[in-house]
């Protein structure tokens, strides 16, 4: 009986001590923002996941554990479960030159914060116009070089029933791929691209254009996703 009482007291003290150690306030702060073209100010459109990685590193630690998550396909991001602290925030692995991106110092000890990364995209899609005629989707567009050393290698129109649309979406429908390898900047920029996908069944779809450059992660620069309806 005496041993049982002593054990119960020790266990109770340990439980109380553990509760005191773990009694942290839950994370309630928000960091949100977007990644934009440093020249045009337009959002960097990408895929999700494996498009643009956002990384938080908390200040005050020699080797802080990174907290990573993926931005949305329109280049925006939002994290609503952040501990009140100071952070270095990074935008990584997107379809842009890493050397063009500086980390941002973000303080959410008292207030939520909205931030913006300005980056140099690998390539720009310009004058994108996606239309529907009968059961055919057509995209007209131009490709513009940036000051990036990456060279466009292909472009394509993509269509799918899901709004989560990118080059590796399972079941994605593609137009004929435009092979840009070996073409000069003048040849590419002077071309009015016209891609088509035909024979679509009636229904609601989503469409966008993608251009790939010779980057090691095979990141595409995309146009915004548009909703289309085949009657």
- Structure confidence at residue 22 (pLDDT): 55
In the chain, % of residues over pLDDT 90? 87
H helices present in the chain, as ranges: 2-21, 185-189
Rounded Cα distance, 225 and 156, in Å: 14
Contacts of 183 (CB under 8 A, 6+ apart): none
Query: Quick one: pLDDT at residue 99?
Result: 87
Give CA 211 to chain center in angstroms: 15
d(CA 124, CA 222): 8
The C-alpha angle 49, 39, 112, rounded to 5 degrees, equals 55
Which CATH architecture is the domain 29-119 placed in? Sandwich (2.60)
Angle, vertex CA 33, rays to CA 148 and CA 100, nearest 5: 20
Q: For the segment 154-180, what is each residue's pLDDT rounded down to a tens digit? A: 999 999 999 999 999 999 999 999 999
Q: What is the pLDDT of residue 223?
A: 98
Buried b (16+ CB within 10 A) or exposed e, 126-155: eebebeeeeeebbbebebbbbebebbbbeb
> 123-230 in CATH: which number?
2.60.40.2060
Q: Cα 84 to chain center, whole Å?
A: 25
Tokens standing for residue 156: 């394509």
pLDDT at 25: 78
Structure tokens at 161: 């029933």
CATH code 2.60.40.2060 region(s) in the chain = 123-230
* Tokens of residue 6, six digits: 């002593």
- Quote the CA–CA distance of 98 and 108 in Å, as a whole number: 25
* Region(s) of the chain under CATH 2.60.40.1120: 29-119
Q: Give tens-digit pLDDT for 2-42.
A: 444 444 444 444 333 444 455 667 899 999 999 999 999 99
Low-confidence ranges of the chain (pLDDT < 50): 1-20
186 φ/ψ angles, rounded to the nearest 5 degrees:
-65, -40
């Amino acid at each position: 009986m005496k041993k049982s009482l002593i054990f119960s007291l020790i266990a109770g003290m340990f439980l109380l001590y553990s509760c005191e150690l773990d009694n942290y306030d839950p994370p309630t702060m928000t960091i949100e923002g977007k990644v934009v073209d440093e020249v045009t100010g337009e959002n960097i459109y990408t895929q999700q996941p494996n498009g643009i990685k956002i990384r938080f590193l908390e200040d005050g630690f020699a080797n802080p554990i990174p907290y990573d998550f993926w931005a949305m396909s329109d280049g925006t991001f939002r994290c609503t479960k952040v501990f009140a602290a100071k952070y270095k925030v990074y935008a990584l692995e997107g379809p842009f030159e890493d050397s063009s991106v500086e980390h941002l110092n973000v303080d959410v000890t008292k207030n939520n914060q909205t931030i913006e990364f300005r980056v140099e995209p690998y390539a720009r899609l310009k004058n994108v116009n996606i239309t529907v005629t009968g059961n055919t989707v057509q995209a007209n567009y131009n490709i513009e070089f940036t000051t990036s050393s990456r060279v466009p290698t292909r472009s394509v129109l993509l269509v799918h029933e899901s709004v989560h649309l990118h080059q590796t979406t399972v079941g994605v429908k593609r137009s004929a791929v435009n092979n840009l390898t070996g073409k000069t900047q003048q040849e590419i920029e002077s071309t009015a691209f016209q891609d088509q996908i035909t024979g679509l069944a009636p229904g609601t779809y989503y469409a966008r254009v993608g251009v790939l450059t010779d980057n090691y992660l095979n990141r595409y620069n995309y146009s915004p996703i548009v909703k289309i309806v085949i009657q």
